[in-house]
């Protein structure tokens, strides 16, 4: 350049390209794109150096942008009250900061904010300066899926213009669209083509109009009209002007019904609003000149639940879905719904950076990405620690987004799996403690940014979980009559108040109040019922309440049961399994307001108690000293808890086979009826023709996943999988019999309309592969459940014939499946919704409820005494079982009698007494386990018949979650496999009986005697009702007799 010795030249292919160059240089100097919207400090430097020339390649995706949406409780009130009060809405001053952010992130497109209710955003084009400011920043304006031709949906006033119905009001709607096309013709636009309803609803049409007819209307009339407007006012050749068609919600069904689009039009494929892309282009669609793109969500208001307040979609999950889109050539248009933009900073940044160069994310490592992002935002000193915190934050919150925590039933158990709810609270507590510690160590200039983009979400998500889970536990404690109920309820209330205080700090204190009104929850009294769930994180839950008596009382509750132990009736802990090094809890609590002292001990020295005495409510952790525990498959033990002269017994059993070589076992071992294997922990992987299962980092609810790559691999013939790519898993089983293999996957959708489904196959020990299809249509009951748990679950039935090492093999059928974990259920549980209904005299339907074991159950809609339903349990082997039913209790439930039959036609035999399913509160509960015997192999029949209802009940309904059939048998050792003996007369000798608990079935009043081999009586008891339990503490030979009125009568002995 003449006359210039040295110069810094930034040249772009167009005005945006030049801006990208300027801002790329700015970022390399240390200026974060989030210096305004994230409060990231701008570093001061004395000198800057640029080494030689640098050429930046064109972005991978042509149009990259964001949708500002559902801004009612954030962006709109913040702009109106804090940042741009002179406009009183979202105006050019606000948009200028957003446009600058987009350019700094190398984005070029926006769908402006457009919400009408409950806080009205003035339509974009009605605010002076908005469109001009977009043009100043070279930002391309586009509009959402229900805003065709650059219009805002609520600009159309039906009271003035008439129905928004193209069948009946075509001329008016045409003019409405045409006016806007004319107004904006000189600006850079991307036109949304087609038509939906005015308020994000389906297209208005005459009653009875089919999807095919709607598709024809769009194809043959609406699109030609819209293209004509473009031709008349923008460009005579509309193929030169970018246009998009978004098959969102019902519009996808219309598209699938035969809607043909102009070849140059870009199809923007939507996700299902929860981060899982509904469909991508087939080979035929990929050949279209207009190409395709993706509309993705990081925030959403709608069914089954909204998520508007937290950024909880892991970048790893987004990466997995968007790489799939890239590989299917969706490279023309990527747009992401970011809600209010704050606090979606991390997700927004990731999405737009990926859109620049998707190939750079081919082997994505979420932790490495976070480390780099944190280094740029807060410096390298704490980068590793903050990245690790972010990994944990996203992992905890994708399992259950804070907005999705149900205030009545969270879905986390307080009594199973070591207290799932408490484990979750502990994880959040550790996460928050670590994040707070880093906050205190950061320099002052970094604290506002760290708080706004990281710490607030960690603290607030913890507080949401605390208030919901502690409130739910307080209601459980009230049912258990714990004196501390009200104290716990107060803790839950404190967590609720702390959440509101955290929101106030975010708004009014952090960054000196810069973001006041950005988090602006609304009192639900101002909202209609259908909109209130949007405020779920801030709606106060109901708390438990209990008025204890002044007299102290000892209460005991054990792991595995929500009901406290009944005085004088022993409880029993789950089986202690040596390979799993099991431990379980016992809660000791006061039922009165005066202090109570207690002690706990076990006569077995190898039973370890974490606490042996106290005066306060205590959780006793029970574990086993395996070095000193006796050998056996069912070694019994007893814990005695004493207070004020009364005793409460808790029995336990230990699984500690003498011949078990722990060193020879695989990592996955059966424990209490199941085996769990993470998908990435496979034993062996087999590829085929360059196609195979590969790890996807941080993409699933459990962390990493496994998916087929390349994702473009063609589907396989499910009838011939001999050469299919496979994953092999190994585990050790101690029991035999029927098992269910549940494969948890990311709830993705079939990739294209040419894919028959989202299928894989499962084989156990070489049996014929079972084909599973986990594709669920949007808005189906299965999809509802899947989105709330971030998982699809496929189930297949198999049989283990011999204990020992077992092999599970997963076969590819369709690409797109993302495996999360594999669970083998050996507990004999039959999900009610999977059972066929043989007969009923009332309606029986499947219901959806996330707290149910698989999110569903069977609803017997009985309305009177005598109503019944009979379900079929398939493939049952002849033996003795303990049968247990899990039901949902509540106020509309009846009293039900269970009966069983070996043949479909009966006879049916009642088992146990009728169960009253009424409860004043909503809860799932396992009914009492009942012994049942089947003498032949084959299907068995369980009948549920209503015999009445509680006086407080409002109906006779029965809601079944699952039925458990647990075989009564010994599972190891050289002794008798089971002590089943029908019609024993006189005396029966059981040789080499293994230790364990045995139930003697005899008539009421029978006297049961047990002698050792020398005839010395070792146990004597009088039966209660029809059964008595014998505890055999040491293997050996025993003699059992049963006497009724001096006569030896038939009896039966079963193992429990």
Beta bridge partners of 884: 964
Angstrom distances, CA of residue 405 to CA of 300, 525, 700, 746, 853: 15, 21, 19, 19, 16
pLDDT at 967: 76
Closest CA to 507 of 588, 584, 451: 451
Name the class of domain 397-538: mainly alpha
Q: Is 209 exposed, middle or buried (0-12, 13-18, 19+ CB in 10 A)?
A: middle
Structure tokens, 267: 């199809």
Task: Kindly tell me the sign of the dihedral angle through the C-alpha atoms of 367, 370, 371, 372.
Answer: positive
Structure tokens, 973: 């050792």
CB within 8 A of 2, min separation 6: which ones?
A: none
Closest CA to 246 of 166, 192, 191, 197: 192
pLDDT at 1044: 52
Fold designation for 662-821: Jelly Rolls (2.60.120)
151-165 tens-digit pLDDT: 998 899 999 999 999
User: What is the C-alpha to C-alpha distance for residues 141 and 317, in angstroms, rounded to an integer?
Assistant: 28
Fold designation for 987-1055: Immunoglobulin-like (2.60.40)
CB within 8 A of 49, min separation 6: which ones?
A: none
670-707 tens-digit pLDDT: 999 999 999 999 999 999 999 999 999 999 999 999 99
> How would DSSP label each residue in 734-802?
S--EEEEEEEEE-----SBTTS--SEEEEEETTPPPEEEE----TTSHHHHHHHHHT-EEEEEEEEE-S
Q: What b/e readout covers 885-917, taking b as 16+ CB neighbours within 10 angstroms?
A: bbbbbbeebbbbbbbbbbeeeeebeeebeebbb
Phi, psi for residue 361 in degrees, rounded to 5:
-105, 20
CA angle, 142 then 144 then 150, to 5°? 50
CB within 8 A of 917, min separation 6: which ones?
A: 887, 889, 893, 894, 895, 896, 957, 958, 959
Structure tokens, 685: 């992987």
Same CATH topology for 662-821 and 831-967?
yes
Name the class of domain 554-656: mainly beta
CB within 8 A of 465, min separation 6: which ones?
A: 402, 405, 424, 425, 428
Is the pLDDT assigned to residue 966 strictly greater than 90?
no
851-898 tens-digit pLDDT: 888 889 999 999 999 999 999 999 898 888 889 999 999 999 999 999
| Confidence bin at 1041 (pLDDT 50/70/90) | low
**What value does the mean pLDDT take over residues 760-773?**
98
Q: Given 3.40.50.720, 1.10.357.10, 3.20.20.70, 3.20.20.520, which CATH number is that of 61-363? A: 3.20.20.520
Beta bridge partners of 640: 601, 649
Q: Which of 418-432, 732-746, 956-970 is the most confident on average?
A: 418-432
229-244 tens-digit pLDDT: 999 999 999 999 999 9
**What value does the mean pLDDT take over residues 208-221?**
95
pLDDT at 1049: 47
pLDDT at 568: 84
User: What is the C-alpha to C-alpha distance for residues 944 and 410, in angstroms, rounded to an integer?
Assistant: 28
Q: Which residue has the tokens 């028959």?
A: 756
Q: Which residue has the tokens 């599972």?
A: 971
What is the domain partition of the chain in residue ranges? 61-363, 397-538, 554-656, 662-821, 831-967, 987-1055
| Confidence bin at 838 (pLDDT 50/70/90) | very high
339-357 tens-digit pLDDT: 999 999 999 999 999 999 9
Q: CATH number of the domain at 831-967, please? A: 2.60.120.260
For all residues of the chain together, what is the average pLDDT?
92
Torsion of CA 160, 163, 165, 166, to 10 degrees: -40
Helix (H/G/I), strand (E/B), else coil: 823: strand
**What value does the mean pLDDT take over residues 493-508?**
98
| Confidence bin at 1011 (pLDDT 50/70/90) | low
**What value does the mean pLDDT take over residues 515-539?**
95
Higher-confidence position of 520 and 1005: 520
CB within 8 A of 646, min separation 6: which ones?
A: 554, 567
User: What is the C-alpha to C-alpha distance for residues 379 and 384, in angstroms, rounded to an integer?
Assistant: 11
């Amino acid at each position: 350049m003449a006359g210039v010795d040295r110069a810094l030249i930034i040249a772009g292919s167009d005005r945006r390209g030049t801006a990208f160059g300027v801002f790329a240089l700015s970022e390399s100097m240390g200026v974060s794109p989030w210096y305004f919207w994230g409060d990231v400090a701008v570093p001061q430097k004395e000198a800057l150096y640029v080494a030689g020339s640098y050429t930046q390649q064109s972005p991978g995706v042509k149009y990259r942008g964001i949708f500002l949406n559902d801004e009612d409780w954030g962006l709109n009130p913040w702009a109106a009250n804090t940042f741009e009060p002179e406009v009183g809405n979202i105006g050019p001053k606000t948009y200028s900061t957003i446009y600058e952010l987009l350019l700094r992130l190398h984005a070029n497109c926006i769908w402006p904010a457009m919400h009408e209710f409950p806080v009205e955003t003035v339509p974009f084009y009605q605010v002076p300066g908005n469109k001009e400011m977009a043009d100043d920043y070279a930002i391309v304006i586009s509009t959402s899926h229900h805003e065709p031709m650059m219009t805002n949906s609520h600009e159309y006033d039906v009271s003035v213009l008439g129905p928004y119905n193209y069948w009946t009001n075509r001329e008016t709607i045409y003019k409405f669209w045409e006016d806007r096309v004319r107004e904006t013709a000189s600006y850079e636009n991307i036109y949304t083509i087609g038509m939906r309803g005015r308020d994000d609803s389906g297209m208005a049409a005459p009653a009875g109009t089919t999807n095919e007819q709607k598709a024809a209307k769009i194809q043959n009339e609406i699109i030609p009209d819209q293209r004509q407007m473009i031709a008349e006012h923008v460009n005579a050749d509309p193929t030169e002007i970018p246009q998009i068609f978004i098959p969102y919600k019902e519009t996808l069904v219309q598209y699938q019904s035969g809607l043909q689009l102009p070849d140059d039009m870009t199809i923007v494929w939507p996700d299902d609003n929860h981060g899982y892309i509904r469909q991508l282009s087939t080979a035929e669609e990929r050949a279209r000149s207009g190409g395709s793109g993706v509309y993705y969500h990081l925030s959403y208001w709608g069914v089954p639940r909204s998520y508007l307040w937290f950024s909880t979609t892991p970048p790893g999950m987004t990466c997995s879905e968007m790489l799939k889109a890239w590989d299917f050539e969706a490279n023309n248009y990527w747009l992401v719904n970011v809600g209010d933009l704050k606090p979606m900073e991390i997700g927004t940044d990731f999405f737009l950076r990926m859109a620049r160069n998707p190939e750079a994310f081919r082997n994505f490592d979420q932790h490495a990405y976070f480390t780099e992002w944190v280094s740029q935002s807060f410096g390298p000193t704490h980068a590793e620690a903050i990245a690790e915190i972010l990994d944990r934050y996203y992992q905890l919150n994708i399992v259950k987004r804070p907005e999705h925590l149900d205030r009545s039933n969270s879905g986390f158990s307080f009594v199973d799996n070591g207290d799932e709810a408490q484990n979750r609270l502990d994880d959040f507590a550790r996460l928050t403690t670590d994040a707070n510690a880093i906050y205190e160590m950061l320099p002052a200039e970094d604290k506002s940014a760290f708080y706004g983009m990281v710490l607030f979400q960690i603290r607030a998500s913890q507080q949401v979980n605390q208030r919901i889970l502690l409130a739910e536990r307080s209601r459980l404690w009230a049912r258990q009559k714990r004196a501390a109920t009200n104290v716990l309820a107060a803790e839950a209330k404190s967590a609720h108040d702390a959440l509101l205080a955290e929101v106030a700090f975010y708004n009014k204190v952090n960054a000196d109040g810069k973001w006041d009104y950005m988090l602006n929850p609304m009192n639900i009294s101002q909202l209609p019922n259908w909109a209130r769930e949007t405020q779920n994180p801030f709606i106060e839950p109901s708390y438990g309440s209990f008025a204890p008596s002044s007299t102290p009382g000892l209460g005991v509750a054990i792991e595995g049961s929500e009901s406290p132990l009944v005085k004088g009736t022993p409880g029993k802990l789950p089986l202690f399994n040596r390979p799993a090094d099991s431990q379980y809890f016992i809660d000791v609590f006061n039922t009165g307001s005066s202090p109570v002292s207690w002690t706990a001990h076990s006569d077995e020295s190898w039973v370890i108690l974490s606490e042996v005495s106290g005066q306060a409510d205590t959780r006793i952790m029970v574990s086993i000293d395996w070095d000193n525990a006796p050998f056996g498959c069912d070694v019994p033990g007893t814990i005695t808890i004493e207070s004020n002269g009364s005793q409460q017994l808790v029995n336990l059993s230990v699984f500690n086979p003498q011949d078990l070589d722990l060193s020879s076992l695989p990592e996955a071992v059966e424990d209490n009826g199941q085996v769990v294997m993470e998908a990435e922990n496979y034993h062996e992987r087999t590829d085929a023709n360059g196609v195979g299962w590969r790890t996807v980092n941080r993409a699933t609810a459990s962390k990493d996943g496994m998916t087929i790559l390349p994702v473009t691999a063609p589907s396989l013939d499910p009838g011939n999988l001999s050469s299919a790519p496979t994953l092999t898993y190994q585990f050790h089983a101690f029991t035999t019999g029927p098992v269910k293999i549940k494969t948890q996957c990311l709830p993705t959708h079939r990739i294209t309309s040419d894919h028959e489904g989202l299928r894989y196959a499962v084989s156990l020990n070489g049996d014929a592969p079972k084909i599973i299809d986990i594709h669920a249509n949007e808005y189906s009951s299965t999809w509802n459940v899947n989105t709330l748990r971030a998982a699809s679950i496929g189930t297949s039935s198999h049989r283990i014939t011999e204990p020992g090492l077992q092999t599970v093999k997963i076969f590819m059928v369709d690409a797109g499946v993302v495996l999360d974990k594999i669970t083998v259920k050996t507990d004999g549980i039959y999900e009610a919704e999977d059972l066929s209904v043989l007969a009923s005299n009332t309606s029986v339907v499947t219901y959806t409820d996330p707290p149910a074991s698989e999110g569903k159950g069977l609803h017997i809609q009985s309305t009177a005494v005598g109503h019944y339903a009979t379900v079929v349990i398939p493939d049952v082997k002849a033996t003795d079982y303990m049968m247990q039913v899990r039901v949902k209790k509540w106020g509309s439930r009846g009293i039900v009698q269970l009966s069983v039959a070996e043949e479909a036609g009966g006879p049916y035999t009642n088992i146990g007494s009728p169960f009253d399913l009424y409860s004043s509160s909503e809860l799932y509960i396992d009914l009492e386990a009942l012994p049942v015997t089947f003498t032949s192999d084959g299907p068995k029949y369980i009948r549920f018949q209503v015999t009445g209802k509680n006086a407080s009940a409002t109906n006779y309904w029965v809601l079944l979650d699952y039925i458990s059939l647990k075989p009564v048998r010994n599972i190891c050792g050289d002794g008798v496999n089971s002590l089943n003996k029908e019609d024993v007369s006189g005396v029966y000798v059981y040789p080499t009986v293994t230790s364990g608990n045995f139930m003697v079935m005899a008539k009421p009043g029978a006297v049961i005697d047990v002698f050792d081999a020398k005839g010395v009586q070792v146990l004597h008891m009088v039966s209660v009702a029809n059964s008595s339990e014998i505890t055999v503490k040491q293997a050996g030979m025993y003699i059992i007799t049963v006497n009724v009125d001096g006569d030896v009568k038939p009896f039966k002995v079963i193992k429990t």
